[in-house]
C-alpha cells in the first residue's frame, strides 16, 4: 500500500488508463454493477423521506404514545366544543325569544310614546267650533276623559292641516289669537280628535252628561262622535333626550319586564 | 470509461423512471448503496495503486453489498436493526474516508 515509488504523475496516468475505452467481461459486469448502484442511489434519494422509517422501536413507541395522548386530548376537545355548540344553539333560541320580546316591547313603547304610528278601532271626535269657545282646557278635559276610558293612542288635528300626537307630555294651552296650542303647535277649528281604544267604552265616556263634550256643546261648539273599526293615528311625536333624568339601573334588571 | 457511463445511465434512469423503493427493500437499500460506494472507492484506490482487477472489484462489490444487507437483515431479526445499521454505516464510512484519503494522497501527493 505505502508504495514509495508511487508518484502523483504515475497515479494520474493509471487513472487515465483506467478511464480509457477498454472493454471485456469484467468491464461489462462492472458497468452493470455501477448502473445498478447509480439506479439504487437515485431512487433512494428520490424516495419520499419518511421519519418513521428511520425511527428506532423505542422512538416509534414514544411517537405512538404521543399520538394516543394527542388523540385523547383532541377527543376531549371535540366533546367540549360539541357541548359549547349545543349551549350556543340553545342560547341562540333564548336570544331569539329575547329579541322578539324586545321588539314587542319596542312596539308597545313606541305606541305609548307616540314614536310609532298606531292602527286600530276607536272613535273619531269632530269638533266644529265656529264661535271659538273651545280652549285648551276643554280640549284637555276631553283628552283626559278619553284617557280614562282607556284610549291607547290619540292625535289631535285641526286647521290648517296639522295634526299632533297626544303623549304624556303634550301640553294644551291657548294662543293669543284664540287658537288651541297642542304640544307647541297652534291648531284652529274644526278639530278632530282621533283615539284608538275600545270604541264603545270611549263613546260612552264621551257621552256622560256634564262631561267635557257636554260642556263644549253647551258652550256652543258642535261635537260629532264616530265609532270606527279601523282608525289610523299616524302623527308622530319627536321625543327629546332627557337632560337630567337618566335610567336608574335596577339591580335585578332582568326582572324588569 | 464505460463503467462510468453505466453509473451515469443508472442515475439518469433512477431519476427519470421515478420508481419507488419496494417496502421489503426499504431498510436495506441505503446500506447496500453505501456498501457499493465503499467498493467503488476501494476500486478507485486500487486503480491508482496499479493493482486494480476486474474480478476483485466485482467480487468485492457484490460481497460488500450482500454482507452489509445480511448484517442489517440479521439485526432486524434480532431487534437491533437500527443499531446494526448504524454500526455498518460507521464502518463503511470509515473505510470510505480512508480510501478517499489514500486516493487523495496518491493523486495529489498530499
SS3 track for A38-93? HHHHHHHHHCCCCHHHHCCHHHHHHHHHHHHHHHHHHHHHHHHHHHHHHHHHHHHH
Residue B13 lies in a domain: no
Residue B10 lies in a domain: no
In 10 A of CB A148, how many CB atoms?
11
ipTM over 0.85: no
Identify the pLDDT of residue A257.
46
Which residue has 413507541 as its cell numbers? A61
Contact with chain B for residue A44, Cβ under 8 A: yes
**Strand segments (E) across A135-198:** 153-159, 162-166, 172-174, 180-182, 185-196
Phi, psi at A169, each rounded to 5°? -95, 5
Residue B103 lies in a domain: yes
Contact with chain A for residue B2, Cβ under 8 A: yes
3-state secondary structure of A195: strand
Residue B6 lies in a domain: no
Percent of chain A scored above 90 by pLDDT? Answer: 10
Total of domains in chain B: 1
> Is residue A2 predicted with pLDDT exceeding 50?
no
Contact with chain B for residue A46, Cβ under 8 A: yes
> Is residue A111 predicted with pLDDT exceeding 70?
yes
Question: Would you call A34 and B4 a contact, using CB atoms and an 8 Å cutoff?
Answer: yes
- To probe the interface with A, which of B24, B32, B33 has the most A CB atoms within 10 Å? B33
Dihedral of CA B58/B62/B63/B68: which sign?
A: positive
Residue B16 lies in a domain: no
Residue B40 lies in a domain: yes
Question: Would you call A42 and B32 a contact, using CB atoms and an 8 Å cutoff?
Answer: no
Residue B15 lies in a domain: no
Q: How many CB pairs under 8 A join A and B?
A: 136
- Domain extent, residue B43, equals 23-108
Taking residues A21-41, report their average pLDDT: 83
Residue B41 lies in a domain: yes
Cβ neighbours of B53 in A, within 8 Å: 26
**Which of A24, A27, A41 is the closest to B14 by Cβ?**
A41
pTM over 0.95: no
Taking residues B42-60, report their average pLDDT: 87
Amino acid at each position: 500500500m505505502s508504495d514509495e515509488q508511487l508518484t502523483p504523475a504515475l497515479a494520474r496516468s493509471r487513472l487515465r488508463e483506467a478511464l480509457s475505452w477498454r472493454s471485456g467481461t469484467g468491464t461489462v459486469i462492472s458497468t452493470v454493477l455501477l448502473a445498478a448502484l447509480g439506479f439504487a442511489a437515485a431512487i433512494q434519494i428520490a424516495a419520499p423521506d419518511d421519519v418513521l422509517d428511520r425511527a428506532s422501536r423505542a422512538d416509534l413507541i414514544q411517537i405512538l404514545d404521543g399520538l394516543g395522548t394527542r388523540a385523547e386530548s383532541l377527543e376531549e376537545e371535540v366533546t367540549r366544543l360539541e357541548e359549547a355548540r349545543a349551549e350556543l344553539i340553545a342560547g341562540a333560541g333564548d336570544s331569539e325569544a329575547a329579541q322578539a320580546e324586545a321588539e314587542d316591547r319596542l312596539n308597545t313603547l313606541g305606541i305609548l310614546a307616540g314614536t310609532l304610528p298606531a292602527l286600530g278601532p276607536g272613535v273619531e271626535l269632530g269638533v266644529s267650533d265656529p264661535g271659538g269657545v273651545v280652549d285648551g282646557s276643554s280640549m284637555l278635559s276631553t283628552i283626559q276623559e278619553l284617557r280614562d276610558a282607556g284610549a291607547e293612542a290619540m292625535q289631535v288635528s285641526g286647521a290648517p292641516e296639522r295634526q299632533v300626537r297626544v303623549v304624556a307630555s303634550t301640553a294644551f294651552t291657548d294662543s293669543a289669537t284664540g287658537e288651541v296650542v297642542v304640544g307647541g303647535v297652534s291648531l284652529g277649528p274644526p278639530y278632530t280628535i282621533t283615539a284608538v281604544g275600545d270604541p264603545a267604552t270611549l263613546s260612552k265616556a264621551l257621552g256622560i252628561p256634564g262631561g267635557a263634550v257636554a260642556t263644549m256643546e253647551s258652550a256652543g261648539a258642535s261635537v260629532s262622535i264616530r265609532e270606527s273599526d279601523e282608525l289610523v293615528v299616524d302623527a308622530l311625536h319627536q321625543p327629546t333626550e332627557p337632560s337630567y333624568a337618566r335610567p336608574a339601573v335596577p339591580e335585578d334588571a332582568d326582572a324588569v319586564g | 470509461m464505460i463503467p462510468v457511463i453505466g453509473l451515469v445511465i443508472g442515475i439518469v434512469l433512477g431519476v427519470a423512471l421515478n420508481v419507488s423503493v419496494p417496502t421489503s427493500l426499504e431498510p436495506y437499500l441505503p446500506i447496500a448503496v453505501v456498501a457499493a460506494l465503499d467498493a467503488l472507492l476501494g476500486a478507485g484506490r486500487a486503480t491508482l495503486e496499479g493493482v486494480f482487477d476486474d474480478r476483485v472489484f466485482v467480487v468485492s462489490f457484490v460481497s460488500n453489498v450482500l454482507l452489509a444487507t445480511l448484517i442489517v437483515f440479521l439485526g432486524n431479526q434480532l431487534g437491533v436493526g437500527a443499531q446494526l445499521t448504524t454500526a455498518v454505516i460507521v464502518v463503511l464510512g470509515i473505510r470510505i474516508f480512508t480510501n478517499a484519503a489514500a486516493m487523495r494522497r496518491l493523486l495529489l501527493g498530499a
